[in-house]
A and B are shown apart, each in its own frame.
Chain A
Amino acid sequence: MRPGAARLEPWVLMSPALALLAAVTALPMLYVVWLSLQQRALFRAAQFTGFDHYFRLAGDGRFWNALGNTLYFALVSVAMELALGLAIALLLARAGRARALIYGAVLVPWAIPTVVSARMWEWMYQPELGVLSFLAGRPVNWLGDAALALHAAIAMDVWKSTPFVALLLLAGLQAIPRELVHAAALDGAGAWTTFRRVTLPLLAPVILVAAVFRSIDALRVFDAIYVLTGGGPANATETLSIYAYRVLFQMLDFGYGSALAVVVLAITGMAALAYARLLRGGIE
């Protein structure tokens, strides 16, 4: 063994992972940017067009509609997931022995494939036969009504993703030293004051992490809405990912579709940067 070999050792052990990551994620990430700079119909010769596709975005009303839908979906669903998740976490923290049982129930929405949960909700959203119309007391066209459809998708996402938020926040709650809560009680703080002045500030970093995690997921949402509404009615639920997919694989315009994909990448990248700032100093 040469002197340098010991220093190479870790990189040798990491090389399979790094090679696969490069091939399947890093390289395609660069490639998509390159594709976005080309005029490229599938299976035809490519032509370099520079930033034309990005200029085209500015005047594309459907793009702005998709961007608006994406941001609205992310904002509303993440806000609701955090609020509901915090409530559930606070409940679970007091559940005592029943906790294991309830964890099991709470994990179900998390574990169900998104496609399946979309199909389940699609069935419940049926205007005539769906259980939700029955509960509403009259037939409601949940998915066919442009004003309702995006909210219907949000409700589904909240159902599916709140457990993750709740479990994360619960872990954060359990990491808060009990002495602090007891000390607050001894100092004469009521339950609400203790929550406001002790629990919530200590939980804030975890809430932030959950918010960023969920935002990144929500900003790239595809499966749930694609199966539930396909982006309809009249593009009322079309998000950026769905628009990009349609341009890529239905219109077979790989150049413009890739430009849309790069926009999704940039938006989630910004959210990821926020996350990196949160973790900064934490990564050893």
Chain B
Amino acid sequence: MAAIAFERVSKRFGATTVAAGLSLQIADGEFFVFLGPSGCGKSTLLHLVAGIELPDAGTIRIGGADMRGVPPQRRDVAMVFQSYALYPHLDVFGNLAFPLRNRGLAGAAVRPEVERTAAALGLGGLLDSKPAQLSGGQRQRVALGRALIRRPVAFLMDEPLSNLDATLRLEIREEIKRVHQAHGITTVYVTHDQEEAMALADRIAVLREGRIAQCDAPQALYAQPADTFVARFVGTPPMNLLPGAMLEAHAALGGRDPAAVTAGLRPQDLEARDGGDGLAARVVLLEPAGPLTWVVAELDGVRLKARLASGARLAPGAEARLAFAAGAAHLFDAETGLRLEA
């Protein structure tokens, strides 16, 4: 187990900037998530830690040791992939034993280790199966087992849940969290799914064009997004953003020039009523979502999403009143998108 540090790491692939002078400390035993939109090169960050790719500049430390010149096989990290990446020519036993054998563990010592790991992940009866015979969930358990079996100093997980269907995703997500709690191995996890990130992470780094837009605990990201990008990216449905002028009459903008402010309101904080005070907006459509119903409304060309107030009667075309608590509005600089403290 080890801390991982990025020190002014830069990496470019053609037009994609994966990292631009990235510096970051991941604590020993931490569950750390890189969250970013698809295609932003998040996986490459893991490849840099694993030594598959080399940084253009800067360096990575694992357990304090500079990894420059250390090949992947000597970094003692393990990886879990979106595509499982099980060796198709080996059975489950062979897959689990693969990292042990590469580390020179004697033949007789391999079997008990494999059996113990398989049993812990509920794979006991499958040791002779080939990966092609397993379900997606079983495959990802084998992949987890293969990563876990040699007690690496860190886990690198590359969207491990993205290929699974909705129910399995929750099941394996719990499994991952349980493994982390049981073994306390430093985990670096990459995903584009903010909900997954929130559920798993001790800390999340939101990536944007090779830079960290914000790095914080999940609740802090949600409560105090550092800029409009993070604000839109974290939380579902995404935060409503509207020109400050629209809010002028309703909330204190802290004495700021309304034209210089973008206001953010989470749909959860915005209640659509059929009368009373609030922003007057035209209802476009309704989206029932079980425990509540979302209302999409339009105000001066801006689309807003709000929670339907209980008992309110609204239909498309009707005028709604969108109400919110005084402290609910997030304020951002209209030009830079950066958060303004009230």
Contact with A along B67-103 (1 / 0, CB 8 A): 0111100000000000000000000000000000000
Q: In the docked arrangement, what's the CA distance between A1 and B71, Å? A: 8
Task: For B54, list chain A residues within 8 Å (CB).
Answer: 3, 6-7
Q: In the docked arrangement, what's the CA distance between A5 and B54, Å? A: 11
Interface residue count for A (Cβ, 8 Å)? 6
A138 on the interface (CB 8 Å rule)? no
Task: For B68, list chain A residues within 8 Å (CB).
Answer: 3
Q: In the docked arrangement, what's the CA distance between A2 and B69, Å? A: 5
Q: In the docked arrangement, what's the CA distance between A284 and B225, Å? A: 40
Task: For A6, list chain B residues within 8 Å (CB).
Answer: 51, 54, 69, 71
Q: In the docked arrangement, what's the CA distance between A6 and B51, Å? A: 9
Q: Quick one: which of B1-60 are within 8 Å of A by CB?
A: 51, 54
A69 to chain B minimum Cβ distance, whole angstroms, is: 48
Q: Quick one: which of A167-219 are within 8 Å of B by CB?
A: none
Chain B interface size range: under 10
A7's nearest neighbour on chain B, judged by CB, is B54
Q: In the docked arrangement, what's the CA distance between A3 and B68, Å? A: 6
Q: In the docked arrangement, what's the CA distance between A7 and B56, Å? A: 12
A3's nearest neighbour on chain B, judged by CB, is B69
Q: In the docked arrangement, what's the CA distance between A2 and B71, Å? A: 10
Task: For B70, list chain A residues within 8 Å (CB).
Answer: 1
Task: For A2, list chain B residues within 8 Å (CB).
Answer: 69
Q: In the docked arrangement, what's the CA distance between A1 and B75, Å? A: 13
A10 to chain B minimum Cβ distance, whole angstroms, is: 13
B336 to chain A minimum Cβ distance, whole angstroms, is: 38
Task: For A3, list chain B residues within 8 Å (CB).
Answer: 54, 68-69
Q: In the docked arrangement, what's the CA distance between A6 and B48, Å? A: 13
Binding site for B on A (CB under 8 A): 1-3, 5-7
**Can you list 14 A-B contacts with CB-CB less than 8 angstroms, sorted by A residue number?**
A1-B69, A1-B70, A1-B71, A2-B69, A3-B54, A3-B68, A3-B69, A5-B69, A5-B71, A6-B51, A6-B54, A6-B69, A6-B71, A7-B54
Beyond known contacts A3-B54, A6-B51, A6-B69: 11 more, CB 8 A cutoff: A1-B69, A1-B70, A1-B71, A2-B69, A3-B68, A3-B69, A5-B69, A5-B71, A6-B54, A6-B71, A7-B54
